[in-house]
């Protein structure tokens, strides 16, 4: 896997959302980013939001989503983002029913 040199380039939010999230501690594909949460000053990414398995395809039935802190991201490659955590360390974001 090749890495992007982020020191000399800019990455857009849409590019991040197209990268697959892989948990290296579990060896598991988590899916794709559904949302990004910034700090109150909009200067720093605090969390990436990843829906549970099949959650992105559940258009009418919203499920819990996982918040993965920016500190848990270990590497951002060309097309994947590697995170290191265990499922018990995910924070759960409850979705409101519409």
Q: Identify the DSSP state of 50.
A: E
Residue 20: its pLDDT value, please?
94
Tell which wins on pLDDT, 24 or 62: 24
Residues 6+ apart with CB under 8 A from 21: 29, 30, 31, 32, 33, 48, 50, 68, 80, 81, 83
Structure-token pair, residue 64:
């819990």
Q: What are phi and psi of 75, to 5 degrees?
A: -160, 140
Residue 73: its pLDDT value, please?
93
pLDDT band at 59 (very low <50, low <70, confident <90, very high): low
Output the pTM of the full model: 0.69
Rounded alpha-carbon distances, angstroms, from residue 94 to 7, 63, 65: 35, 7, 7
């Amino acid at each position: 896997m090749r890495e992007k040199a982020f020191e000399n380039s800019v990455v857009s939010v849409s590019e991040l959302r197209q990268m697959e999230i892989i948990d290296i501690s579990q060896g598991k594909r988590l899916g794709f980013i559904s949302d990004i949460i910034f700090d109150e000053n909009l200067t720093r990414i605090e969390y990436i939001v990843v829906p549970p398995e099949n959650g992105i395809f559940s258009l009418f039935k919203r499920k819990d989503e996982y918040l993965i802190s920016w500190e848990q991201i270990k590497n951002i490659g060309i097309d994947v983002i590697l995170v290191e955590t265990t499922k018990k360390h995910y924070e759960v974001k409850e979705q409101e029913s519409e």
